[in-house]
Structure 1
Amino acid sequence: MICAAAIASTAHAAEKPVIALTWDDLPAHSALPPGVTRVQVAADLLKAFADAKAQGFGFINGALTEREPDSAPALKMWRQAGQPLGNHTWSHPNIASLTPEQFTAEIARNEPMLKDLMGKNDWRWLRYPFLSEGDTQEKRLAVRAWLAANHYKIASVTVSFGDYAFNEPYARCVAKGDQAAIADLETRFLDGAAAVADRSRAMAKTLYGKDIPYVLLMHGGAFDARMAPRLLKLYQDKGFGFTTLAKAERHPFYRTDVDPSRPPEPTTLEDALKAKNLPVPASPVDLAALEGMCR
């Protein structure tokens, strides 16, 4: 006979929220502090994933390996660690400034590098630069049709706290040796991550009455690497388990992104709430406060 406590424990385990970790702008995101290399950033991120037993799905911009040739080994390290890579376009353009043909050419230009790195593994995931799917519906539909014809899935984002904005201030503060400012950045980073996780869960529960599998947007920057162990522990302490991007996007919320041939539906929690005329909670993160740090 199964006791009530065991049933309750099983139910609690089933309700544990899960989050997939994704990392954009590989292999060379934002400014580096003095003495730090792209290879070291990758090594630190990969160690954090290994320690947490988590997948870190990376999205690459091939142009970065031309701009910073010393960063190229970071991508091979990513693969040697068993972590997957996907397409973030060649040079990270905003689709608003391009035609659909120009934008899809940017995606295609990244493919030889991905094929070489990923081999027979699935690399046909696109993360839109700036999370922008187009400034017109016609453009959005044209790109989605290309993605469907070329067997791509779209990597949605349902948790994002603006981590990208911390990397340049961090590089400045390290250069100045301002330890108090660095400590302030660390606090702001973790507080922002915690608050946004709570906000995303609240939005999902408004829409579904329960959690969905979440997809976290991060970037392969030096401060991200410094904070990754503490960030992943924060999610674990908040009760999250780690999942893969492919498993997370099996949830119906993401159905129009894993099959771009479908008519597009909102694939951010904010837009899904707006589509139902439901209020969107305010962002709890003040990124503007970072701009003046260590100037």
Structure 2
Amino acid sequence: MMSLRTWVLIAAFAVLCGTAAAQQPQVAFTFDDLPAHGPLPPGETRPEPVKSILATLKAEHMPPVYGFVNGFRLIGYPYQIEILKDWHNAGEPLGSHTYSHLSLDVISAERFEQDIAANEAVLAKVDPDGDWHWFRYPFLDEGDTLAKRRNVRAYLKQNGYKIAEVTIDFQDYLWNEPYARCMAKHDDASVAYLQTSYLATASEFIDVFRGLSKQLYGRDIPYVLLMHVGAFDARMLPRLIALFRAKGFQFVTLQQAESDPAYSFDPNIGYPGGGTLMELVAQVKKVNFPDNTEPDKKLDAVCR
């Protein structure tokens, strides 16, 4: 029979383990611009990045990952509906990214709402019974004026949509074009640089957004990561997942992440240029966004 002291030690250990689990940061991966994003390296076909992403998600035992769809791409390339079907058939859910990937900053709320509605036929065709009423704003532009923001949010609510906010963004899309250029030039050294800088920037911004979360909420909220279905994203996905694991993250679904109370707060401001949810909350609470690296100029010069 166990002594009282042994039971106390076991109970204390269980509490400590439970506390550690509760403190483990969480992240939901999401991908924008299905079925196609960015240029491809020579010899790579359009379905390949998504097939690679799907294979990685399966191999890494990731929970269901939302892919956000722009239906306009099917006009010139109707075969790309098969890419959407591949995503759906792999057990990954689909959401809306508008039909034409337009910025709400430069069009009216009414035109934007029409573009949301136009995307529904594509989503319903691929996934007639799915929960595709999750919506991701293109460019994260939720309205340069408060009137636009409120009008579109009212439309989304009336039509059963939930907003797929973003709370970690390291501008992963910036690497896809230089990658295609470097592969065309067979510049292995520059590709190696792209790999190193991609992971370094991702690591930096994970830490930046975690720090901002602790400033705004006093804790790690469950994060939502913005990604794109580009060729370099597909190549780097296994290493990116490994980076999150090395930082102690647990992977969750979009629904699980956004059930946190932090996502129920509407900053309720017009914000030209768009931004993540926490950037808008920081504006409202007058908290400065932390200093960070801006890799775009350096990447734009690679393999020119």
Superposed pair shares fold, TM > 0.5 = yes
Q: Say whether the 8 Å CA contact 1:28–1:68 is kept in structure 2.
A: no
Work out the number of aligned pairs and report it. 290
C-alpha distance in structure 1 between counterparts of 2:276 and 2:226, whole Å:
14
C-alpha distance in structure 1 between counterparts of 2:234 and 2:246, whole Å:
19
Structure with higher Rg: it is 2
How far the C-alpha of 1:3 sits from its partner, in A, is 4.0
The residue that corresponds to 1:16 in the other structure is 24
Alignment CA distance shift 1:293-1:65 (3 Å): same
- TM-score when scaled to structure 2? 0.91
Pick the aligned partner of 2:256 from 247, 271, 288: 247
Aligned pairs for 1:227-246 (under 5 A) are 227-246=236-255
The residue that corresponds to 1:127 in the other structure is 136
C-alpha distance in structure 1 between counterparts of 2:104 and 2:288, whole Å:
28
The residue that corresponds to 1:109 in the other structure is 118
C-alpha distance in structure 1 between counterparts of 2:17 and 2:139, whole Å:
41
Consecutive unaligned residues in structure 2, runs of 5 or more? 1-6, 270-274
The residue that corresponds to 2:44 in the other structure is 36
The residue that corresponds to 2:57 in the other structure is 49
Alignment CA distance shift 1:267-1:288 (3 Å): closer
Show CA shifts across 1:140-192 (max 9, x none).
11111111110111110100001011101000000000000000000011111
How far the C-alpha of 1:10 sits from its partner, in A, is 1.9
The residue that corresponds to 1:166 in the other structure is 175
Pick the aligned partner of 1:210 from 192, 212, 219: 219
Q: Say whether the 8 Å CA contact 2:29–2:226 is kept in structure 1.
A: yes
Aligned pairs for 1:1-295 (under 5 A) are 1=7, 2-54=10-62, 55-256=64-265, 264=268, 268-295=277-304
The residue that corresponds to 1:260 in the other structure is none
Q: Which amino acid is 2:117 matched to?
A: A
How far the C-alpha of 1:53 sits from its partner, in A, is 1.7
How far the C-alpha of 1:5 sits from its partner, in A, is 3.0
Consecutive unaligned residues in structure 1, runs of 5 or more? 258-262
- TM-score when scaled to structure 1? 0.94
How far the C-alpha of 1:96 sits from its partner, in A, is 1.9
C-alpha distance in structure 2 between counterparts of 1:16 and 1:172, whole Å:
39
Percent same amino acid among aligned pairs?
46
The residue that corresponds to 2:3 in the other structure is none
C-alpha distance in structure 1 between counterparts of 2:287 and 2:110, whole Å:
36
C-alpha distance in structure 1 between counterparts of 2:21 and 2:264, whole Å:
25
How far the C-alpha of 1:107 sits from its partner, in A, is 0.5
C-alpha distance in structure 2 between counterparts of 1:224 and 1:68, whole Å:
22
C-alpha distance in structure 1 between counterparts of 2:197 and 2:65, whole Å:
23
C-alpha distance in structure 1 between counterparts of 2:75 and 2:294, whole Å:
34
Root-mean-square deviation (Å)? 1.6
How far the C-alpha of 1:197 sits from its partner, in A, is 0.7
Q: Say whether the 8 Å CA contact 1:253–1:267 is kept in structure 2.
A: no
Q: Which amino acid is 1:33 matched to?
A: P
How far the C-alpha of 1:254 sits from its partner, in A, is 0.8
C-alpha distance in structure 2 between counterparts of 1:108 and 1:256, whole Å:
25
Alignment CA distance shift 1:96-1:271 (3 Å): closer
